[in-house]
Structure 1
Amino acid sequence: LKVIWEPSRHQHLAVLAAAAAVTGDGRYADEVVDQLAEWIEQNPVGVGVHWLESLEPALRILAWLWVLPLVLGRPRFTPALCATVLRSLVAQARHIAANLSLYSSPNTHLLGEALALFVVGTALPELNAAADWRERGRAILEREIVAQVGADGVYREASLYYHAYTVECYLLAVIVAERNGTPLAPIVRAGLERMLEALAWLVRPDGRLPNVGDADGGRTLRLGAPNLVTVDELLASGALLFQRAELRAGLPSRGEEAAWLWPDAVSRLDRLGSATAPHGCRQFPDAHLAVNRARVDGDERWALFDAGDMGMLAGGHGHAGCLGLELYAHGRLLVADRGTYVYNGAPAWRAYFRGTRAHSTVVLDGCDQADPTTPFQWATRYRSRVVRRLSSPDYALVTGEHDAYGRLRSPVRHRRTLLSVGGAYWLCVDVLDGGGPHTAEFLFQLAAGLEAESVPGGVFAAPAAAAHGLLVLGAGFADATCRVVTGATDPIQGWQSDDYGDKRPAPTLCTTESLQTPAVRVHLLAPCVRSARGQLQVESERVGDGLAVVVRAEGTTDLVLCSPAADRPLAARGVELVGELLHARMDTTGELQKFLAVQARSVRWHGEALVQADGPGDWARVRQSHAAEPVADGASTGSERA
């Protein structure tokens, strides 16, 4: 039905109406008039598929209200047709008011319906039911911004596309309310501002949304692009509303959509100016998301860490990809979330794209993290959280965990740490805490358009003629098989969907190993020049249940010690750790330059005590001559540094 519904939302009429206004060519306006008249004639009130869901007339009448002022003056728009359109609009508003999605889809469906009632009641106050519709829509919008949006500003359905959709919905509501002298409650404006702040941090440096959770390609109102895959114009409109240039996230925008909302939007946007993209670390505690943004030698680096669960209600738009990653560097996406593709009509594809194997995480014993029942429901759910987030001048770290594999015969808790080392490379440390043998598949979803080339210890992935790419090297594996799967259909693996209904082959790096838990495995993920892909080398040795890793680069050597538990001593290469993780950098002479110790009670470096504490804590030394200092855990605050 989605394919049938969307043309009858009439969002494309805004393009025709704008063309008429800009070019003065009346044929565009006449086409709008003809399509309105034909649709009303062919869709009697209450008859047919376009009256099944209240969201459909809601989106349709929103489009009408924005389009009609641009075509009302056409000779073809006769008084009789004007009356016909008004009667249809009123009938659709009545249908919405009588059939609100209070129980079936009390999510973005309800928000869109409330917005339509509020806008109709505000824009057409002469209608008998206008005041009732306006106040009913207002009440829902004011209530649902608390129910559907977390205190961290992220929409609760575990979908960043629906987050952007909700931003658009509330942006329109606030602008209509304030321009008509009927402002919404302060909690709405404050909530919208938090949502825009979150979006400005989460958006990729190229202006595209991460593929976290479902995306159906829809919009509340099409004032520019047909979907919200890119959000540069949406952020520009938000920046104008709040007069905050930083909400533009450093993205270029022409004000194309804002021009529909304010007559002087383009000049106002020029006066507002732009700000640089946000840099630093930001955590979203309610959504269990964390993002790290850095600029390295002029290159924008971006990493998203998803420790989220299935989202609110039945988890219908959440994916079973907990502890998944997305990575961006050198102007392109390198590690991707695979997206959505379709909701209905292709159950095997729906299961793949929302399943664990379409995400950069770990699959145990061939089981997804959650078992689906219907395309929008799950038989099992898991609990997840961000354990800690640390930030210092040289390091950015986030750790998350989930209990999805607690349902296995030999239960396992998966804990993952993503550590950025000065923005130069990321370390992905996976701890599988449990007992007994398991088969683990470590997956990295390489972005579509990359070609994977085997190198010692891993792969180098880049477009065929590109100078830069991503080096992926594993550490701690024994008797593992490593393969790259692209465009497979039996079973489905190695596909990416960047827009609803579209899919294309994309390489998936899969390392499979039969192992005994507890176990620690590490991957180094380094954006680098193709010619330098052999200059970064990784060595590793298992030490009990833990792992010692050495990363050699030109001019530096990094030592990494990883333990499955903070209270287990780990000693290797003259270094002793009682803690979870140690990263230490040495120069060419072997002199210690800096280190980060996570949940450490003790660190001894060739006999010298670097850390000695009564209990576990996080410590860093950022310069050779400085002593170790405690690092504050930002996991509960979500604070950032500029």
Structure 2
Amino acid sequence: MKALAAPGRLEWWSHARERALFSLLHLRQGLGRQSLHRPFTAQDVPRYSFCAGPSPMLPPLPWHLPADDDRLEALLKGVVTIFGYSWAWAPDGSCWHRAPDTGALWPRRFFADIPFQSGNPCGDIRMAWEPSRLQHLVLLAMLAQQAEPVVRSSAVAAVEAQLVSWVEANPFLTGIHYISPTECALRLLAVCHAMDALRPLAPTSDRVWPAVLTLIAGHAELIRKRLSLRLITPHDTLAAAVALIYAGSLFPEMDMAERWLAFGHYLLEEETPRHISHDGGSQEQGVGYLQFCTDLYGMVLTLLDHRQSPVPEKIRQVFARSRDFLDAFRNSTDGKLPPIGEGEDEHALSPYMHFIHPTKAHSPGLTTFHLSGYSILRGRMRDKAIFDHGALGMAPRYRHGHADALSLLLQVGARDVLIDPGTYTCTGHDEWRTYFRSTRAHNTVTIDGLDQAVQDGPLAWSLPFDTHLVYKDETPEGKITVIARHYGYKERLGVTHLRGVSYEPPGSWMIWDWLTGTGTHHVELNWHLGCRPIPVEGGYRLEGFDHPLLLTVEGGTSTLCEGSVQPVGGWASTRYGSKHPITTLRVAYTGAIPHEFMTRLRFV
């Protein structure tokens, strides 16, 4: 009933049709019939140009490989670090079903019957999915190309053994790795690139190419069946489109290749560009997912250009706009992106393959992305603020959005001052999922302990907020002012939040929060700090700067919170699945509305 009411009848009906497909597939599997494809044998291999061709068939990509002998040695041994946990390949194939975070074994039964949402007995499914993307095999193959002959031989053997092991340990439609079309798509892409990179190194096993063909045929057709019934989130749809174009282009001899190629082009040209705004931002409101999509666009454009296939100009424009948007958000020191929204640990092919512009220094001033809802204010002391006045996410479910309206990030030089705590988890640990996507976990104001929107399970929202950019100005002297408003509390509590952010050279920042409405409310302003505050007279001195940086807040009672559990507060996550304590400055007020807070940061 909730699904019927929230996303609308069209999405509910698509979901129902997908469940009908699952029932049919399960019935056929129970009768011992291969519903979509048959396993391939060594006799089939010579028919396929991708398997038999002597030269690489994929174009070069922008790799930034690590110069790390220890990493190569670990990969040769089958050891991979998964979000801080050690995962090791085992010849019996059990490793593909073992959860790195809990050690539990995921069930090996029909994929649609496996419970994987929060509360399941095995842990966060994202942890188990990661090694089965097989992206570490691509990295191993790329590193092997630069290694000594003995190492290259070991790398070829390692890639072949793990790939064959995965296919044998994961019969078609059995196990958790068929649950998500996106996981199937990313695995298909990784296998194509890993095997193409190994081609000059002469693969030796007569089992590896049949395993590749079996995986490609099953994955591509399952993706096509699933996506033809129900479109999922934009970045997932894009991954599926790119995988289908890869499968149809590289394996034209397969019976379904023309359908894969046609449907992949349809998704690429008609469905996926809609989520990239004309200013380059993503309607999903996740900077990490935007980089993920940009890399997928780059991969498919490179492939199609290499094969001299026509590409719609709008796809090239989407790719160019997204790269320019991300370039504006990158740190000039290390090129990293801020963890706004979700997707910071998602990779199209590898964490060492990205389509990015060379990192460059930006001039002081104001840059506003009106459609995406961000303003970037750059000062004269290498200080930068990112002001979020955008929407919650992409309708109708806003799956990967955070309740962060009017949140502010601030960086001075290479030091983070006001930070976004990140994501931590998507499908595990309900209480932590609830916190990290909440309003309280962002640098903005919370009213009566409520989020700006209503969390509807771990992957959806209801009652989304509206935002409005009220005013912006930049003077010749370098003073910058941006004012925005959101209405997330208007309907439920009768309160509206207006925030103004002002920069004045050479390095003074002021944030003014004005709350209008009626009644008595508990109001809480949270500042999540990337450096340690030292209480001083009138405020807090922030550590780590050559000159003292003073933080002061007026309008409530200030307390410092670090690593609290009851209530949750003072935490950040720099990578998926891990968290660590930080210091959060919490300023609370209980009383009548209207009310205001005034926050200042300045060097003294």
TM-score, L = length of structure 2: 0.75
1:456 correspondence with 2:537: yes
Show the counterpart of 2:142. Answer: 18
Show the counterpart of 1:616. Answer: none
Which runs of 5 or more structure 2 residues have no equivalent in the other structure? 1-124
- One-letter amino acid of the structure 2 residue matched with residue 405 of structure 1: Y
Show the counterpart of 2:407. Answer: 324
Larger Rg: 1
Q: Aligned partners of 2:571, 2:229: CA distance in 1, in Å? A: 36
1:398 correspondence with 2:526: no
1:302 correspondence with 2:378: no
Shift of 1:124: 3.0
**Identity score, percent:** 29
- One-letter amino acid of the structure 2 residue matched with residue 429 of structure 1: W
Show the counterpart of 2:340. Answer: 212
- Report which of the two has the higher share of strand: 1
Show the counterpart of 1:34. Answer: 161
Say which structure, 1 or 2, has more relative contact order (CA 8 Å, 6+ apart).
2
Show the counterpart of 1:350. Answer: 433
Shift of 1:101: 7.3
Show the counterpart of 1:569. Answer: none
Moved more, 302-311 or 383-392: 383-392
- The structure-2 alpha-carbon separation of the partners of 1:168 and 1:71, relative to structure 1 and needing over 3 Å to count, comes to same
Q: 1:285-323 CA deviation, whole Å, 9 max, x = no partner?
A: 122111122342xxx211100112211131111111211
Shift of 1:79: 4.2
Aligned pairs for 1:415-430 (under 5 A) are 415-430=498-513
- The structure-2 alpha-carbon separation of the partners of 1:224 and 1:197, relative to structure 1 and needing over 3 Å to count, comes to same
**1:445 alignment partner, SS class:** strand
1:174–1:183: 8 Å Cα contact kept in structure 2?
no
- One-letter amino acid of the structure 1 residue matched with residue 566 of structure 2: D
Shift of 1:123: 2.6
Shift of 1:278: 5.1
- The structure-2 alpha-carbon separation of the partners of 1:98 and 1:145, relative to structure 1 and needing over 3 Å to count, comes to closer
1:485 correspondence with 2:561: yes
Shift of 1:441: 1.3
Shift of 1:365: 2.2
1:155–1:163: 8 Å Cα contact kept in structure 2?
yes
- One-letter amino acid of the structure 2 residue matched with residue 349 of structure 1: W
2:287–2:344: 8 Å Cα contact kept in structure 1?
no
Which runs of 5 or more structure 1 residues have no equivalent in the other structure? 226-232, 237-247, 251-275, 533-642
- The structure-2 alpha-carbon separation of the partners of 1:389 and 1:123, relative to structure 1 and needing over 3 Å to count, comes to farther
**2:130 alignment partner, SS class:** helix
- The structure-2 alpha-carbon separation of the partners of 1:88 and 1:103, relative to structure 1 and needing over 3 Å to count, comes to closer
Q: Aligned partners of 2:181, 2:171: CA distance in 1, in Å? A: 15
- One-letter amino acid of the structure 2 residue matched with residue 384 of structure 1: T
Q: Aligned partners of 1:37, 1:223: CA distance in 2, in Å? A: 24
- Report which of the two has the higher share of helix: 2
**1:467 alignment partner, SS class:** coil
- The structure-2 alpha-carbon separation of the partners of 1:84 and 1:487, relative to structure 1 and needing over 3 Å to count, comes to closer
Q: Aligned partners of 1:358, 1:223: CA distance in 2, in Å? A: 27
Shift of 1:75: 6.0
Q: Aligned partners of 2:462, 2:225: CA distance in 1, in Å? A: 32
1:472 correspondence with 2:551: yes
Show the counterpart of 1:224. Answer: 352
Show the counterpart of 2:215. Answer: 88
- The structure-2 alpha-carbon separation of the partners of 1:183 and 1:422, relative to structure 1 and needing over 3 Å to count, comes to farther
Shift of 1:171: 1.1
2:500–2:513: 8 Å Cα contact kept in structure 1?
yes
2:191–2:212: 8 Å Cα contact kept in structure 1?
no
Show the counterpart of 2:130. Answer: 6
- The structure-2 alpha-carbon separation of the partners of 1:188 and 1:514, relative to structure 1 and needing over 3 Å to count, comes to same
1:312 correspondence with 2:394: yes
- The structure-2 alpha-carbon separation of the partners of 1:211 and 1:84, relative to structure 1 and needing over 3 Å to count, comes to closer
Show the counterpart of 1:235. Answer: 356
2:292–2:348: 8 Å Cα contact kept in structure 1?
yes
Shift of 1:435: 2.6
**1:474 alignment partner, SS class:** strand
2:443–2:527: 8 Å Cα contact kept in structure 1?
yes
TM-score, L = length of structure 1: 0.71
Q: Aligned partners of 2:203, 2:438: CA distance in 1, in Å? A: 52
RMSD: 2.0
